[in-house]
Amino acid sequence: MDIIVLRPGVTSKEIRHIVKKLEDMGFKANISKGTERTVIGVIGDTSKITEDEVNSFGAMPGVEKIHRIIQPFKLASRDFKAQDTLIKVGRHTIGGKRVHVMAGPCAVENLPTLLKIASEVKKAGATFIRGGAYKPRTSPYSFQGLGELGLRYLAEVKEKTGLPVVTELMDPRDIDEVLRYADIIQIGARNMQNFRLLQEVGSYDKPVLLKRGLSATIKELLMAAEYIMSRGNHNVILCERGIRTFETATRNTLDLNAVPVLKKLSHLPVIVDPSHGAGKWDLVAPMAKAAIAAGADGLLIEVHIKPEEALSDGEQSLKPDNFTVLMKELRAVARAVGRTI
């Protein structure tokens, strides 16, 4: 049920208009007159009311505001599906008791480096290799990624290590290639509201790791998930990766509130990327531990053999030895909150 709050001094003619509009749409109106305010409870399946229809009610004379009880996201919502969604990727399940750590370089640079990083993170306990072949760089003059060659390197590393691949898709024109090589398609923060791209990945059943936009609200993140799910692909993993705030001490502000909030609002698995969230390698470990403690189902962590020589995001990349120490500590945190790694 949704609630329409009326302005003080609303006329009975205005109320009649609102009630008529609701009844014409197949709803019943429950008018409740308080001492200061009159409200109308809308009875019926209000999940079918669109945002545009809500706005048209909001513009009617006498209406002050509208409270939606049912969220605008449906398929992504806990109201729609109470049990946690489990996403199968090869022999792994994301969203269950086990916490998955997806680790690797920001960008795929060359085969020997990728292979070395992958075998190190695997040894430490990571279950996925991450690495971008298509990189959304702020400057067009920065390294843009190796493209399809990078995807082929990822496939080769997968074959050698057995680690499934998480890699970013930036453009629907590359979808066939990325589908061929990726086990999980990453949609980056900058593309969270690229609705055509979301619809495109929604047309397949390949799992999608959807990163929160730089200045997206939690509701907008869930609406972006809804775009993918409404096309039929329900295998969506949400990722908190930090948002823009006034704070300049860190690259972004990692919003760990988002983890329990998303878990409450949605049944989808939630992972955290402390590398982009913090932007500095020495902040990654404390935030990774905090993320698991907050209930995250996994982590996305940048690791590089030589961060000082990385072609992107070296300043936030862990070296394999620090990553190995972190994995040990994460096991203890996971145990404390009833999870395993």
Angle at 127 between CA 122 and CA 128, to 5 degrees: 95
Task: Give least dist CB 86 to ligand PEP, A.
Answer: 23
Mask for 88-127, x = binds Mn ion (CB under 5 A): ------------------x---------------------
Token output for 113? 């480096």
Contact between 274 and 282 under an 8 Å Cβ cutoff? The reply is no
The distance of Cα 284 from the centroid of its chain, to the nearest Å, equals 19
Token output for 142? 């920065």
User: Restricting to residues 209-228, which ones interact with ligand PEP according to CB under 6 A?
Assistant: 211
Q: Is residue 326 at the binding interface for Mn ion, with CB under 5 A as the rule?
A: no
Question: What is the rounded distance in angstroms from the CA atom of residue 35 to the CA atom of residue 11?
Answer: 15
Among the residue ranges 1-9, 49-57, 186-194, 254-262, the one whose residues contact ligand PEP (CB under 6 A): 186-194
Question: What is the rounded distance in angstroms from the CA atom of residue 189 to the CA atom of residue 258?
Answer: 15
User: Restricting to residues 252-291, which ones interact with ligand PEP according to CB under 6 A?
Assistant: 276
Mask for 100-139, x = binds ligand PEP (CB under 6 A): ------x-------------------------x---x---
Task: Give least dist CB 250 to ligand PEP, A.
Answer: 14
Number of residues counted as binding ligand PEP (CB under 6 A):
9
What radius of gyration do the chain's Cα atoms show? 23
Question: Which of Mn ion, ligand PEP, none does 189 bind, CB closer than 5 to 8 A by kind?
Answer: ligand PEP
Token output for 173? 């024109």
Q: Which amino acid is at 200?
A: E
Interacting residue ranges for Mn ion, rule: CB under 5 A = 106, 313
